[in-house]
Every structure is written in C-alpha cells, then in structure tokens.
Structure 1
Amino acid sequence: MKKVMYNQFGDESVLEVVEQPVPAIENDQLLIRVKAVSINPLDWKVYGGEMKLMSGSTFPKSLGIDFSGVVEQTGSAITRFKVGDAVMGLLDVFKGGALAEYIAVKETDIALKPVNSSFEEAAALPLTGLSALQIIDQLAVVGPNQDVLINGATGGIGIFAVQIAKKRGARVTAVVSTKGVAEAQKWGADTVVDYTKQPIRQLNQQFDAVIDLSTRLSFSEAKRLMKQKAIFVSTLPSPVALISSFINNIFSGQKRKILIVKPTAEGLTTLTKLAEADLQIVLDKTYPLSNVRGAYQEARRGNILGKSVIVLD
C-alpha cells in the first residue's frame, strides 16, 4: 500500500510516498480503507520539527491526523462497527499516520460518517470539530448572552467554533479576511470584522472569551480585549506557554487556556450528530495523494477558507 512518510525534519520536500505492507490488526482493532485525509497546520509544525518535544525525534515518521474511510476488517473484540461501515476518525495528533491507503485503528478512534456528508467533508471534521467543541464547551465555557471574539474564524476550527458558539447562545464577533465576510455571516456570526480594514487590536469592545485561531494574537495583546474576568484560548501548545498560563491563572482573573485536543468517541459521535443536523463543513481544495507536497505547500501559504483534503481513491 502507499503511505506518506519522512526521515528527517524539514519542509515539504522531506515528504515521500512509499510502499508499505498493509497493517495487521489486533483483536481490538479495525482495518480502515482510507478515502480522504484532511490537512492541518499541526502537520507542518510536526514535520518541520517545531513540535519535536511532543512528537519525538525518532524516524521514520508518518503524516496525517484525521480521515474518513470504510471498515475493511474487524478484530474479534469489535462490537460497534462492521465491515462496510463508512466512518471518520483521527489518530494521535503528534504521531499521525492517516495518509496511507490502509490504517489500523481502535473503536474509540472512529465514529460513523455523517450520512449527509461526503468522504471528503467527513475527513475535514474530526480534528477541527473536536477542537471547536473543546474550546467552546470546556476551555472558554461559552454560554448564553456571552460576548465571544473568534480570531481566524474562517479556518478549519473557526468555522465550527462560530457555529457551536451560536448554538450555545453567545454573541459572536468573527474576525476574518475580506473573502470570508459573507461566509462568517452565513454561519451566524453577529458581527464580522474584516481585519484588512479594521485591525483586531483596534477593536473598541471587551469580551467574555477571546479565541485566537490565527496564532498571531498574543495573550498580552488580547488582555485589552478581555473583560476583567474573561478567558483567552490559543491553539499553540508549547512547554513555555503551558507553564506561563499555569502561573498566570493562579493570580489573574483574565485566564489563559491552551488547546490540547483530547479525542473521544463521544466527541466524534457528537460531531456526527451535529453534521447530520445542520453543522456546515467547508472544503477549500482537494488533492490526489501523488501531489502531497504541493497540497501542503499551498496550505502553508494560507488564505484558505475551510479545510483542504487529500483524496486517496
């Protein structure tokens, strides 16, 4: 089978499509024939070596976190899924391995694919959808009548964060580029700020939660946008950020939280139900596996609306 691997940290040139044996499964595993895999910013931070404290420095390494596909084989202990089921799921965020024609997973790694979503759309949902759920419900604890600022609202997480925050009854201000204004309005944002015309640092309002998905707004800069008791959430985990947030949160009413995604089967099932109801999934581009380097080069340049996906069929 074909699989994307790399033998050193670097840019997209280190990524190789190689031949590997189809993985054998244990009794508590399923073999998935992968149909699509989404591209995430965490991918290039890992293969670029920025996250080596979390990912380790042992090679070769694999790529790809969230995926969709079809159950090809089940171990004897599997009870929730059967051969032929269309599923979506995600692997360890720092180890990856989804960019392969076949992968071995556990039941807790997957959920049934939303019936109204394509395989490409389903692959774009697990990591960013779970991230949005955890940010809105667990880190920012968004509730009715709260004022929430989402910076980077048209990226993979932002699309879902806007919609879920609105479902929780919040007043949402979405910060986007010009091409994302109409989309953010469509997702339900109460106020949409085009950062090319009005820099976020010049906003004359304070919020109960400031969620930075752009990775460009620091906590010190965000403080002026926060109420006296408010929460700042960022998506860039690092040892320094984790330590400084711990110390800050002891002494300050303005709390700093950092997302470290914790995949759960329950969370994935919740996403399936939300997508089957009315949660919108937005795809930017799809690419064949043979163009994996070009796909990541384009994604890293940014200016993407939603998620880009690599198709393995």
Structure 2
Amino acid sequence: MQAAQLMKYDKHFKLVVHDIPKPVPHDHEVLVQVKVAAVNPLEHLIGTGSVKLIQNYPMPLTMGNELAGIVTAVGSQVQQFQVGDAIYSRLPLTKIGAFAEYVAIDENAVALKPKNLDFAHSAAVALTGLTAYQGFTEELAAQPGQSVMIPGGSGSFGQLAIPIAKALGLNVMVSGNARGQANAAAMGVSQYFNYKKENYWEALAPVDYVIDTIGKRELAHELSVLKPGGRLLSLRIGPNRRFAQQHQLSAFKTLLFSMAGASFDRQAKKAGVQYHFIFVRSDGAQLAKITRIVEQANITPAIDPTEFTLEQVNEALALVATGHPQGKVLIKF
C-alpha cells in the first residue's frame, strides 16, 4: 500500500510517498481502509520536530492524525466494531499514520462516523471536536451556566466548539470576521464581536474561561477579560509546568516546559487566573458523544474545496501552513 512518510525532522520537511506493507491488526485493533484523511497544523509541529519533547517518533514515520474510512478487518478481541462499519478517528498520538491507504487503529480510538456527514466532512470533525470537548470538560472543568470567550472563534475550531459548548450548557462569546457572524448566531452565541469594528476586551463583561486560538499576541487581551480565578486554555501558545505534570513527563522535560511557560504563568498569576495548554489525545468514547452532538445539531464543518490526492500531500501541507484554506484541508483516497 502507499503511505506518505516523514524521513527526518526538518524545518523544511517534505513527505515521501512509499510502498509499505499493509498493516495487520493486533488483538484490539481494527484495520481501516482510509477514505479521507485530514491535514492539520499538528502535522507541521510533528514534521519540524517542534513537539518531539512531547512525542518523539522513530523514522520513517507515516504521517497523519485524523481520518474517516471503512473497517475491513478486526482483531480477535475487538468487540465494538465489525467489518463494514463506517468510522472516524483521531489516531492515538503514539501510533499515527492517517496518510496511508490502510491503518490499524486501537478500537478505543474509533467511533462510528456521524450519520448526517459523508466521509469527507467526518474526517474534519475528530481532532477539532476532541480538542473542544477535552478542553471544556477536562482542562476547564466548565459547568452549565458558566461563560467562555473564544477569540478567533469564527473559524474551523469554533464551528465545533460553539455547539459542543452549548450542549454542555455554556454561554459562548466569540470574536471573528463579518463572514462568520451569521453562522455563529445560528449556533447560539450570546455575543459576537466583529474584530474589524470593535475590540472585545473593551466591551465584554468578565468571563469564566477563555480559549485562545490566536497565540501570544492576543494573550494580554485574553487575560484581561477573565474573572478572578478564571482559566485560559491555549491551543497555540505552548506548554508549561502544569502541562508537564498532568502528562507525567520526566523531570528534565518538566524543567524545560517550566522554563518555556514561565512567562505565561507569570502573566496569568498577575491577572489572578490559571494558564493551561492542551495537546489533544484520542478517545473513542468521547468521539461517540461528539457524534451525537454533531447529529443532533446537524453540524456540517467547513472543508476546503481544493481536492488533494496522496501524491499531492506536500501541496496540502503547504496550503495549511502558508495559504488561507476555507475549511479543513483533506486528502482523498
């Protein structure tokens, strides 16, 4: 079978398409014929070696973290799935490989795809949906009736984060472009700030939580709108001591992350709040809950209209890194 592989960490990495053996599923794995794989900024973090302190891979590495496909074989101990099931998955961090014709996945990382979505749109849900769900329920421990602000929430993250937050009983505020306002309103946001016309930090009442999708340049504004004791969860800025301790990393890595995140923690402490960073993991049970939310709210995530094949994987990566995709970038098999 064909697979797109990383040969070494490199700032300007390119993937190479190789013929490799078709995997054989272990006892608790399902073999999936990949229909669509999604391309994420995470691929660039992995390829450049930016996250090797969190997860270091042996080379060559078949890349890709997110897919939708059909189960073609099951391991001897698999109980949740059978041949022919249409599934989707955020692959386990220790065993990625969505950029391939077939992949063996632990059944606990898999869920039946939403009935209202085709394979392409399903492939665009798993990683983003799990990021939002784990962010709200674990990192923020958000409770019904509390409030969350998502700067930059009119993009692909917000398309899933907003309905998931609403399903958990949260009040949601978002900033974004004019194009995203109607869609956000339809999903039930309490307030929408057009960033070209107004600054949310000048008009927003203090909130319980902020989810950062923008990065360091927005940190001061995000901290300023939090209630005392609130939490800021970043998808972009970087890990800190809390992250290292939560993931039980080595003393050396904990020291490194403590130093790297010291300025973020210092700014958060000065504001009387907590700084958190998330690196989403696979979880089939949580994905099944997301499936129900997607079906009940009839969510259709945006996907970029450009179609890529596996041979064009580097072009797809470039669009994610340097272009302005109109949604999740996909590789179709």
Q: Same fold (TM over 0.5)?
A: yes
TM-score by length of 1: 0.89
1:120 CA drift (Å): 0.7
> How do residues 246-265 of structure 1 correspond to structure 2 at under 5 angstroms?
253-265=272-284
Larger strand percent: 1
Matched residues in 1 for 2:215 and 2:137: separation?
20
Partner of 1:126: 126
1:42-121 correspondence to structure 2 within 5 Å: 42-56=42-56, 58-93=58-93, 96-121=96-121
The aligned residue for residue 195 of structure 1 is 195
Displacement after TM superposition at 1:180 (Å):
2.1
- Secondary structure of the residue that 2:76 maps to in structure 1? coil
Which residue of the other structure, out of 271, 288, 307, is the alignment partner of 2:328? 307
Query: Residue 145 of structure 2 aligns to a residue in which SS?
Result: coil
Task: Give the deviation of 1:84 after TM superposition.
Answer: 0.8
The C-alpha deviation readout for 1:13-37, integer Å capped at 9, x for no partner, is 5112221111122222221100111
| Greater Cα offset, 257-266 or 29-38 | 257-266
Contact residue 223 and residue 271 of structure 2 kept, 8 A = no
Return the offset for 1:103: 0.4
Shift of 1:247: 6.5
Q: Are residues 9 and 203 of structure 1, via their aligned partners in 2, closer, same or farther at CA, if it must alter by over 3 Å?
A: farther
CA drift of 1:294 comes to 1.4
1:21-60 mapped onto 2 (5 Å cutoff)? 21-56=21-56, 58-60=58-60
Would you say 1:173 and 2:173 are equivalent positions? yes
Residue 144 of structure 1: CA displacement? 3.4
On the 8 A contact 1:31/1:103 being kept in 2, the answer is: yes
- Structure 2: any 5+ residue segments left out of the alignment? 244-257
**What's 2:247 paired with?**
none
The answer for the alignment partner of 1:238 in structure 2 is: 239
Q: 1:276 aligned to 292, 295, 302, which one?
A: 295
Aligned residues: 312
Structure 1 unmatched ranges of 5 or more: none
Deviates further, 82-91 or 215-224: 215-224
Q: CA RMSD in A?
A: 2.6
SS in 2 for 1:298: helix
Alpha-carbon separation, structure 1, partners of 2:84 and 2:155: 32
Aligned residue for 1:163, secondary structure, equals helix
C-alpha distance in 1 between matches for 2:156 and 2:183? 13
Distance 1:148 1:181 in 2: 17
Q: For residues 269 and 150 of structure 2, what CA distance do their matches in structure 1 show?
A: 25
Q: Deviations over 1:195-222 (max 9, x none)?
A: 2333455445321111112224554442
Structure 1 position 140, deviation (Å): 2.2
Is the contact between residue 160 and residue 301 of structure 2 (CA under 8 Å) also seen in structure 1? no
